[in-house]
Structure 1
Amino acid sequence: MRGPSALASLVAAAAALLLLIEGCGGAMYKVGDLDAWGIPPPSKPDVYSRWAKSIHFALGDSIWFLYPPSQDSVVQVTPRAFAACEASDPVLKLDDGNSVFNLTTPGRFYYISAAPGHCRKGQKLAVDVPMANGTYLPPTANDLAAFAPMPAEAPAGFESAALGPAGAHPSAAFRAAAAGAGSFLLAALSFAVFLL
């Protein structure tokens, strides 16, 4: 039988664990600040992109998707799958109706609804997470492809082009990459930045 000292040790260990969890955890954000993750209303077709731009995420933060599990889900996808609204090969799929994704590494992360037709109606979200010092990683060519259709062949030198100053917000890097990539790509990237 365990004595009072064992119980006191267990309580102290639980309290220490709670303090550790609270000290390491970041903020949790309900996606879109809407009642639920769903197709954006016609009056706010860009609700998810505007919401993501309004939040200054940090490492350790979490994003919370709330939705009826019998009607929807959320999948984390690659940039190209995000552009194509393709949910068949997700990075991660959650469908419990109360899905939390922890933002533990810097970069851009992409989420879409796996319900048929929802993504094409605007139920998609891209989130930028800065490094611990607050600077953002420059977007990769794949990140650029998530927001702008790429020509059949990328312009010469595009893959090695500088994508913006180190630490700049990703939208600044999109504009910098467009400067030398030709008029078609410039127009497509400008449209993508507008959508962000």
Structure 2
Amino acid sequence: MAKEMLVGGKTDAWRVPASESDSLNQWAEKSRFQVGDYLVWKYDGGKDSVLQVSREDYGNCSISNPIKEYNDGTTKVKLEHPGPFYFISGAKGHCEKGQKLVVVVLTPRGGRFTGIAPSPSPSPSSAFAEFEGPAVAPTSSATALNGGIFMMAMGVVAAMWVFPM
């Protein structure tokens, strides 16, 4: 079921953060985003905007070539595919001061993601590797340790049987 998620969890969150701990990425890391969910921004459209950008433009805070630009004051973006989405402020200098956001949309359970970054340039850094879901759980070292202890115990029992004291 699709959800509408108010960016930052509050109306005035799309602004230059007061501190690094006030970063929108801190909020995004604590949230789960699914395909079909919506991000909603509320801000003063006369003073700011939301730009969806490539990974490279996000890292460089480049506002010159956005994938999409929103400046209506109440922006609603549908997360249409799994993988990362990059957003920065369109106000000059705001991105450099931390007004930016990355959200990672989860791959649907049992789904397959062969996504390509929504980037206007075909640079290799903006393409994502192929992901298969669901992930296989790593082998537990505790399981391997228990198996080793069992084999050692069996060896001791066998030695005691072959070489009685």
Q: TM bucket by the smaller chain?
A: 0.5 to 0.7
Point out where structure 1 has 5 or more consecutive residues left out of the alignment.
1-24, 145-158, 170-196
Matches within 5 A, 1:1-196: 26-36=2-12, 37-42=14-19, 44-45=21-22, 47-133=23-109, 142=125, 166-167=132-133
Corresponding letter in the other structure for 2:125: N
| Contact 1:112-1:123 at 8 Å conserved across structures | yes
Aligned equivalents of 1:136 and 1:51: distance in 2? 27
- Residues 30 and 123 of structure 1, relative CA distance in 2, 3 Å threshold: same
User: 1:88-136: CA deviations, max 9, x gaps?
Assistant: 1110000000001001111111000010000001111111112221779
Q: Which runs of 5+ in 2 are unaligned?
A: 118-123, 136-165
Offset at 1:142?
A: 2.5
Structure 2 CA distance, aligned partners of 1:118 and 1:137? 33
Can you list the C-alpha shifts for 1:112-165, whole angstroms capped at 9, x where unaligned? Answer: 001000000111111111222177959986259xxxxxxxxxxxxxx9xxx697
1:43 Cα deviation after fit:
6.5
Which letter maps to 2:85? F
Inter-CA distance 136–48: structure 2 relative to 1 (3 Å threshold): farther
User: Identity of counterpart residues, as a percentage?
Assistant: 31
Greater share of residues in strand = 2
Computing the radius of gyration over CA atoms, which structure comes out larger, 1 or 2?
Answer: 2
The structure whose residues are more often helix, as a share, is 1
Asked whether the equivalents of residues 53 and 87 of structure 2 are also in contact (C-alpha less than 8 Å), the reply is: yes
SS at match of 1:44: helix
Q: Confirm or deny: 8 A CA contact 2:113 2:130 kept in the other structure.
A: no
- Paired with 2:111 and 2:78, the residues of 1 have a C-alpha distance of 19
8 Å Cα contact 1:106/1:136 also seen in 2:
no
Moved runs in structure 1, 4+ residues, more than 3 A?
A: 134-141, 163-169
Q: Alpha carbons of 1:52 and 1:168: their partners in 2 closer, same or farther (altered >3 Å)? A: farther
Q: Contact (CA 8 Å) 2:109, 2:133: kept in 1 or not?
A: no
CA contact 1:59–1:106 (8 Å) conserved in 2: yes
* Offset, 1:34: 3.2
